[in-house]
Amino acid sequence: MSAWDAVVVGGGPAGSATAARLAADGFAVLLLDRAAFPRRKPCGECVNPAGVAALQRLGALDRVLAADPARLDGWRIAAADGRAFLGRFPSGVHGLGLGREVLDALLVDHARDAGAEVRTGAKVVDLQRDGTRVTGVVLEDGTEIASRVVVGADGLRSIVVRRLELLRRPPRLRKLALTAHVRLAEPLGGRGELRTLAAGCVGIAQVDGGRANVTVVVTGDEMHAVGGDRDAYFDRALRRCGLNAERLDEVLATGPFDWPVRRAVADGALLVGDAAGYYDPFTGQGIFRALRGAELAADALHAALRAGDATATSLAPYERARRHAFGSGERLQHLVEAFVSRPRLLGWAAGRFARRPALGDAIIRATGDVRPVRSLFSPALIARLVA
Ligand SMILES: Cc1cc2nc3c(=O)[nH]c(=O)nc-3n(C[C@H](O)[C@H](O)[C@H](O)COP(=O)(O)OP(=O)(O)OC[C@H]3O[C@@H](n4cnc5c(N)ncnc54)[C@H](O)[C@@H]3O)c2cc1C
> Ligand 1 mean position to 130 CA, how many Å?
30
* Per-residue pLDDT at 130: 96
What are the pLDDT digits (tens) for 245-264? 999 999 999 999 999 999 99
Helix (H, G, I), strand (E, B) or coil at 90: coil
> Ligand 1 mean position to 12 CA, how many Å?
6
Ligand 1 pocket: which of 31, 154, 175 to mutate (most atoms within 8 A of CB): 154
> Ligand 1 mean position to 288 CA, how many Å?
11
Q: Is the CB of 180 under 6 A from ligand 1?
A: no
Contact 177, 281 (CB under 8 A): yes
274 pLDDT above the threshold of 90: yes
> Ligand 1 mean position to 168 CA, how many Å?
19
Q: Is the CB of 290 under 6 A from ligand 1?
A: yes
Q: What is the mean pLDDT of residues 109-117?
A: 98
**CA nearest neighbour of 17 among 332, 47, 3, 42:** 47
281 pLDDT above the threshold of 90: no
What are the pLDDT digits (tens) for 155-214? 999 999 999 999 999 999 889 999 999 999 999 989 999 998 877 899 999 999 999 999
Contact 14, 294 (CB under 8 A): yes
CA distance 354 to 98: 29
Of the CA atoms within 13 Å of residue 352, those in its CB half-sphere come to 16
Identify the sign of the CA torsion 56, 59, 63, 66.
positive
Interior/surface letters 132-169, b for 16+ CB within 10 angstroms, e for the rest: eebbbbebeeeeebebbbbbbbbbbebbbbebbebbee
CA distance 78 to 99: 24
What are residue 88's DSSP bridge partners? 74
Q: Is the CB of 192 under 6 A from ligand 1?
A: no
What are the pLDDT digits (tens) for 2-12? 789 999 999 99
Which ligand 1 atom sits nearest the alpha carbon of residue 160?
41
Residue 337 pLDDT class (50, 70, 90 cuts)? confident
Please name the fold of domain 4-40+100-171+259-333: FAD/NAD(P)-binding domain (3.50.50)
CA distance 42 to 177: 8
Contact 73, 190 (CB under 8 A): yes
Which ligand 1 atom sits nearest the alpha carbon of residue 51?
11
CA distances, 301 to each of 127, 306, 308 (Å): 18, 8, 10
Q: Is the CB of 34 under 6 A from ligand 1?
A: yes
30 pLDDT above the threshold of 80: yes
> Ligand 1 mean position to 154 CA, how many Å?
8
Q: What is the mean pLDDT of residues 329-346?
A: 87
Residue with the smallest CA separation from ligand 1 atom 37 is: 154
Q: Is the CB of 255 under 6 A from ligand 1?
A: no
CA distance 321 to 291: 14
Helix (H, G, I), strand (E, B) or coil at 319: helix
* Per-residue pLDDT at 387: 66
Instruction: Give, rounded to a whole angstrom, the gap between the first and last alpha carbons of the chain.
Output: 66
Residue with the smallest CA separation from ligand 1 atom 38 is: 154
Q: Is the CB of 281 under 6 A from ligand 1?
A: yes
Residue 386 pLDDT class (50, 70, 90 cuts)? low
> Ligand 1 mean position to 175 CA, how many Å?
16
